[in-house]
Structure 1
Amino acid sequence: MFRKMPHILCAFMHPNDQLLQPIYAFGQRHGWLIELCRDVIPRDWQGDGVISDYLTLEELSAIRDIGKIPIVSRILPPGGNVRSVLSDTRAVAEMAVDFFVGQGFQIFAAISTQEFPGEVCGIPICPSQALRELTGWRGLECHFHYCVPRDGVEPSYPEMLAGIRNFLESLPKPVALILVNPQVVAPVWRAVEELGLRVPEKVAILCNSQRPLYTTYTPVPLSGIDGEHGTVGLKLAETMQKMLDGGDVPLEPEVISPSAVIRRASTDIIAVPHLKLATAIRFLIQNCDSPVGIGEAARYAELSQSMLNRLFRRHLGRTGIEFLQQLRIDRMKNLLDSTELSLSEIAAQTGYSSPVSLSLAFRRATGMQPGAYRELRRG
């Protein structure tokens, strides 16, 4: 007997291939017919479910039976026919700040398209809000710029560019700059070029995205935060299928954290005043995929191991071994998320002698085995 194909509308304010690809792949496996639209919803669209990113219920109101069909959203609070899959914006903020603190930065800045105030289930909607919370709590200096002002009147492109340029020019240097949305990458580069700012010497840039169009093919390749969007897309699709099946889907939202920072040339700088400590840090970053330790880094920097650890504590607030372990854990998470490599192969690329030693280190750091982490991220 012919089985009706579920008709699913993906209504995305900001279409994102890293989000959409796992949704489409899941839909193909489960016999969905997927239609994609942006913020202009086809009037009286009729179907079986809606997956959305940042659109409100009012913006989705053109859909027929919007109060009855399943909706899975990235910002709507769960309840009734709505379920939520949320990005852990606090984890994004913490990863970005910890990354730059580990490079010795003391001054931070963030540029976002606009401010999205509010929370869903206690989690800030926008990473910039989470950054403001975190840097305030830690007593760190952080400056914020929103391309669209609070009154919501969108500026012309020259006005937006002038705003970014004035903001960057006013910042103390060197500064750790976090691009909250990939949409600001191009205008930020234009402003950087016009001001003659050197990247990363004056402005080290980290993008809250790992999409190649925004990070790889730029004047200086951008470091990016990885591992969140693909998992969010998969969980959006899985949650929709559970609702289509008529199962009891909990109100508690799925909350997805990023996996790691992917280092590129835009952050290839150590902002600590002690040159030998900077030398040791660079040595560890460049060799963390090999079985080196703090002793080798100390010898390379012409320091005793005890002095190197004292310098780490004084300038970065952690020991050298803690710094090295975090480099390796970040690398493990990225490889578990983005490749099919075996644990033996991952161990060989992260400085561990065997899968057993890798698993022990990973469990100490995360509370779970590598295989369980990979399964959780991929569903």
Structure 2
Amino acid sequence: MARRAQHVALVLSLNKRFDRKVIEGVTRFVHESGSWSVFLEDDPTAKIPDFRRGHFDGVIADLDDPRIPRQVAGLTMPVVGIGGIESNCSLNLTVSTVGTHNRKIAELAADYLMRFGLHSFGYCGVPATTIDPWNRERQETFAQRVEAQGHACSVFSARYKPSHSWEQLQEAIRAWLDPLPKPVGVLAANDMRARHVLEACRRFGFSVPDDVVVLGVDNDELICELATPSLSSIVQGTEEIGYRAARLLNALMHRRNQQVTHILVDPVTIVERASTDLIATSNRVVADALRVIRQQACDGIGVSQVARAIGVSRSTLDTHFRREVGRSVHNEILRVRVNTARTLLATTDLPLGEIARRAGFCHAQYLSSIFRRKCGQTPGDYRRRAR
């Protein structure tokens, strides 16, 4: 006799890219090891079921939607929340959660932007809510990280929602950016807010990335490519969040785990695009070398060819480069190639051999060896986390 399928409600939004990637992770778990009957509605007004009549065995719910915590509070069935719960939440909401490690996102962003040699930084937030702490966590951690290195960080606390006050929002971002020392590195709360920053820069004459270096979060490819210039962004492990939420709920439904558990999933990588394509050095030898490396690293160029292209000896290039950048020219070429491979793994379905070719590696085995050494995991493991 076949085992009864578990009836699970996915209270997530099909029109949000983050939620869709979470659902992909849930789907992967169900295909691998679950026997679930799934409730999922695309109509936002119908996505929350009537739990009193649905006979559900478990729930995976988006806690960042302000309507949902009140709906799942007090349910006797297992619930796994996607997102976080405020420590001062007025609801008695003791459910397990799987969410983004927002502090790791902010630390990754700060370290990345500081690598450009910047001394001025800003965080562009979204209007605060009473439900989730993610925006505040990213803001506080980013500011602490750059301030610990002796740099200033200015915070834009949004007062305007673009759907209601687009012009006021643009003027407010201009007024925020205008007095900041340039170049300034800006982390935006998410890709949509980063696009608002880029639009303000374009309208009011701030050059990106020469005046303002902009980094978003989510790597929503539609938003990132729609932006002018294209937006660099942090890839969250959203599918991994869905997979681990489904695995946790399955354990709860089968009584294998009775404890309230909170799991944080680290960000995967940064996909670099034009909004962070900054060469922040006054050393002409290093600036010219960095330009050549960015343009030709994946074409197989070596250190001698870089030196020849900018008209200096190899020893002169190495001396200047190590003093300004803190690593060798060879390691910089390798870094660009590995970053290219990371981007292709995260954003395409290309086979590893083709990725190796496009990233400037002679064959897939060499890419795998270098990738494991630099990233601490195989290309295949990295791709699974990123997708």
Q: Return the TM-score normalized by structure 1.
A: 0.80
| 1:54 counterpart (61, 64, 68) | 64
- Structure 2 equivalent of residue 268 of structure 1: 277
What per-residue deviation string (whole Å, max 9, x for no partner) do you get for residues 194-237 of structure 1? 42222223222222131133211123221222253343344334
Is 1:33 the equivalent of 2:19?
no
Classify 1:372/1:214 alpha carbon distance in 2 versus 1 (closer, same or farther; 3 Å).
closer
Is 1:92 the equivalent of 2:105?
yes
Classify 1:194/1:332 alpha carbon distance in 2 versus 1 (closer, same or farther; 3 Å).
closer
Aligned mates of 1:130, 1:302 — CA distance in 2: 43
Aligned mates of 2:45, 2:109 — CA distance in 1: 29
Q: Which runs of 5+ in 2 are unaligned?
A: none
Classify 1:282/1:93 alpha carbon distance in 2 versus 1 (closer, same or farther; 3 Å).
farther
Q: Which runs of 5+ in 1 are unaligned?
A: none
Using the TM superposition, name which of 312-321 and 204-213 deviates more.
312-321
| 1:221 counterpart (230, 253, 275) | 230
Contact 1:332–1:350 (Cα < 8 Å) also in 2: yes
Is 1:142 the equivalent of 2:148?
no
What per-residue deviation string (whole Å, max 9, x for no partner) do you get for residues 271-323 of structure 1? 21112211211221222323323332222222333333333333333333333
Classify 1:140/1:296 alpha carbon distance in 2 versus 1 (closer, same or farther; 3 Å).
farther
Aligned mates of 2:228, 2:183 — CA distance in 1: 19
Q: Describe how 1:184-199 pairs up with structure 2 within 5 A.
A: 184-199=193-208
Is 1:113 the equivalent of 2:126?
yes
Is 1:203 the equivalent of 2:204?
no
Contact 1:44–1:64 (Cα < 8 Å) also in 2: no
Contact 1:227–1:334 (Cα < 8 Å) also in 2: no
Classify 1:363/1:195 alpha carbon distance in 2 versus 1 (closer, same or farther; 3 Å).
same
Aligned mates of 1:147, 1:42 — CA distance in 2: 29
**SS of corresponding position for 1:325:** helix
Aligned mates of 1:276, 1:261 — CA distance in 2: 27
- Structure 1 equivalent of residue 369 of structure 2: 360
Aligned mates of 2:151, 2:237 — CA distance in 1: 25
Aligned-pair CA distance for 1:111: 0.5
Aligned-pair CA distance for 1:67: 5.4
Is 1:126 the equivalent of 2:137?
yes
- Structure 2 equivalent of residue 162 of structure 1: 171
Contact 2:25–2:239 (Cα < 8 Å) also in 1: no
**SS of corresponding position for 2:346:** helix
Using the TM superposition, name which of 315-324 and 71-80 deviates more.
71-80
| 1:327 counterpart (309, 320, 336) | 336
Aligned mates of 1:142, 1:347 — CA distance in 2: 39
Q: Report the identity percentage.
A: 22
Aligned-pair CA distance for 1:167: 0.3
Structure with higher helix content? 2
What per-residue deviation string (whole Å, max 9, x for no partner) do you get for residues 108-154 of structure 1? 2221104689999xx996322221121122223332212049xxxx9
Is 1:75 the equivalent of 2:54?
no
Aligned mates of 2:132, 2:62 — CA distance in 1: 17
Classify 1:251/1:298 alpha carbon distance in 2 versus 1 (closer, same or farther; 3 Å).
farther
Aligned mates of 1:129, 1:60 — CA distance in 2: 25
Aligned mates of 1:212, 1:6 — CA distance in 2: 33
Q: Describe how 1:168-317 pairs up with structure 2 within 5 A.
A: 168-248=177-257, 253-317=262-326
Aligned mates of 2:100, 2:246 — CA distance in 1: 15
Aligned mates of 1:300, 1:238 — CA distance in 2: 54
- Structure 2 equivalent of residue 10 of structure 1: 11
Aligned mates of 2:79, 2:20 — CA distance in 1: 18
Contact 1:75–1:125 (Cα < 8 Å) also in 2: no
Paired residues, what number? 371
Contact 1:220–1:266 (Cα < 8 Å) also in 2: yes
Contact 1:44–1:63 (Cα < 8 Å) also in 2: no
Aligned mates of 2:378, 2:195 — CA distance in 1: 39
Q: Return the TM-score normalized by structure 2.
A: 0.79
**SS of corresponding position for 2:209:** coil
**SS of corresponding position for 1:60:** helix
How big is the alpha-carbon RMSD for the aligned residues of Structure 1 and Structure 2?
A: 3.8
Aligned mates of 2:264, 2:247 — CA distance in 1: 13
